[in-house]
Amino acid sequence: MSQSHFIDGQWVAGQSDHLVVAYDPCLAQPFAQLHSCSPAQVDQAVRAARQALPRWQGLNAARRATYLRGFAEQLKQRRDSLVALQMQNNGKPRHEASADVDDAVATFTYYAGLAEQLDARQNAEVALPAPGFRSHTRLEAIGVVGLIVPWNFPLVTSAWKLAPALAAGCTVVLKPSEVTPLIEQVFAEIAHEIGLPQGVLNIVGGGAETGVALSTHPGIDKLSFTGSNKTGSAVMHSAADYCRPLTLELGGKSAILVFDDCDLDQAVEWIIAGICWNAGQMCSATSRLLVQDSIAEPLLARLKNALEKLRVGNPLDDEVDMGPLSSEAQFSKVTACFELARSEGLHCLTGGYALQMPGWFVSPTVYTDVPLDSALWRQEIFGPVLCTHRFSSEAQAVELANDSQYGLVATVVSADLTRAERVAAALEVGHVWINSIQAVFVETSWGGSKGSGIGRELGPWGLSAYQSVKHVTRCLD
């Protein structure tokens, strides 16, 4: 770990005195440490990306696509080691860690395909009403981009940003989370393996100091950040200083709406998937359960029984359904919510405690009939903690779901598909699932409204986020 960062095509040691420590959350024990990048090294990375930009954006887009396919293929070849690292540093069960790697592969493959179409779209003619003029459109790389990614889905979120940025012709400075500082190093290994031109991809690890140095650097043309609202607000302020564009994917307090015509057992499966995948450490976690009055009691009884059968433990055991929280800080936050619930007198249907085992494990937890002004109903917890509330009508369900500072996702459970589509249209969020787990496809968009962020990732919208549009108009006279 002496040389853990990647700047201008070279592995380098961090020059900051700040140490970043990688922990195994199943044991609450460190297994690696590295020195953060200094602000001076961030500056070197940005300068390297700036120097590499003309050559990279000038490449035929189909040529850039070959590099993206190289990333996809190399990720496949490293699949086993990446799964193991996700299990060790994030505490993800094997099936979740495997899904993350597959998601990253699919993302690079998809954007390689879009890149192959870019050359044909370049210089498209624009119809004009004036006969004496002609105009065409150029789609150009936005420039040098800073990418700041979170710890809950590190490999996935970085692929969601890195692949479209490279496809568009941008050069990149990527900052991994200090909680999961290791897995993004695979992108540097692959860049070296496939001969990516030096300076196109730079990886600067570290804590807050490194993130601030990147987000405030005057040489960045765009920022893309995924993380907490507090940090996102600071990133937004830094972007304002330079009037530069940014994409923000922030928090959520999403709702799952369960109507009385549903299959109760199937509904329970979708509820659990929405709150217990990745131990609830998801911005998209459906942590507010809205259930119709007439089925509340039987549904909650089934939910309690299913959650208490959930197998929580070390992901090295392939029978495990849910692993630990990924950090001590998150463990402390979730257990503090348990204390707050007790102080508020909330009714705990099941869970509400830390598990007596090594590591940062907590029980899957449900609080019922939670008041709408409770902090647990309003605030993002980022753990396997579900709050429930009842509704009597469709209109009330929609009103309750939309009564939030966030607007990322929602799930609708109903046998009446006409109603489900009607409710989906009324929800103030960026993505709605109907009778489904949270299946995320690279072809669809990702992002939210209100306090959940700005802009969209994935799909063609993710590529457009890294492109600028230029029109060239000339007089024919």
Give residue 343's Cα distance to chain centre.
Answer: 32
Backbone torsions φ then ψ of 339, nearest 5 degrees:
-65, -40
**Cβ contact 6:185 at 8 Å:** yes
Element housing 55 (H / E): helix 39-58
Say how far apart CA 451 and CA 390 lie, in whole Å: 24
Say how far apart CA 397 and CA 391 lie, in whole Å: 6
Return the structure tokens found at 377: 């109903």
Is 283 tagged catalytic? yes
Say if residue 212 is exposed, middle or buried (CB neighbours under 10 Å; 0-12, 13-18, 19+). middle
Q: Are strands 124-126 and 133-141 parallel, antiparallel or unpaired?
A: antiparallel
Backbone torsions φ then ψ of 369, nearest 5 degrees:
50, 50
Element housing 106 (H / E): helix 94-121
- Set out the domains of the chain in order of their start, with CATH numbers: 5-250+452-475 (3.40.605.10), 255-441 (3.40.309.10)
Q: Positive or negative CA dihedral for 308, 314, 319, 321?
A: positive
User: Which amino acid would we find at residue 176?
Assistant: P
Say how far apart CA 120 and CA 116 lie, in whole Å: 8
Element housing 171 (H / E): strand 171-175
The pLDDT, as a whole number, for residue 477 is: 82
Q: Indicate the Cα dihedral angle 193, 201, 4, 212, nearest 10°.
A: -170
Among the listed residues 276, 283, 337, 387, the single catalytic one is 283
Provide DSSP, 242-292.
HT--EEEE-----EEEE-TTS-HHHHHHHHHHHHHGGGG--TT---EEEEE
Element housing 420 (H / E): helix 417-426
Backbone torsions φ then ψ of 452, nearest 5 degrees:
-85, 0
Say how far apart CA 346 and CA 386 lie, in whole Å: 12
Say how far apart CA 381 and CA 276 lie, in whole Å: 12
CA angle 305, 307, 310 (to 5 degrees): 115
pLDDT in tens, the chain (477 residues): 567 899 999 999 999 999 999 999 999 999 999 999 999 999 999 999 999 999 999 999 999 999 999 999 999 999 999 999 999 999 999 999 999 999 999 999 999 999 999 999 889 999 999 999 999 999 999 999 999 999 999 999 999 999 999 999 999 999 999 999 999 999 999 999 999 999 999 999 999 999 999 999 999 999 999 999 999 999 999 999 999 999 999 999 999 999 999 999 999 999 999 999 999 999 999 999 999 999 999 999 999 999 999 999 999 888 999 999 999 999 999 999 999 999 999 999 999 999 999 999 999 999 999 999 999 999 999 999 999 999 999 999 999 999 999 999 999 999 999 999 999 999 999 999 999 999 999 999 999 999 999 999 999 999 999 999 999 999 998
Among the listed residues 116, 178, 184, 249, the single catalytic one is 249
The pLDDT, as a whole number, for residue 1 is: 57
CA angle 338, 250, 331 (to 5 degrees): 25
Give residue 433's Cα distance to chain centre.
Answer: 17
Give residue 68's Cα distance to chain centre.
Answer: 20
Q: Are strands 385-391 and 365-368 parallel, antiparallel or unpaired?
A: parallel
Bridge partner residues of 114 (DSSP) = none
Q: How many residues does the chain have?
A: 477
Distances (CA, A) of 152 to 288, 317, 401: 20, 20, 25
The pLDDT, as a whole number, for residue 387 is: 98
Is 380 tagged catalytic? no
Say if residue 446 is exposed, middle or buried (CB neighbours under 10 Å; 0-12, 13-18, 19+). buried
Q: Indicate the Cα dihedral angle 402, 406, 409, 410, nearest 10°.
A: -30
DSSP state of 327: S
The pLDDT, as a whole number, for residue 318 is: 85
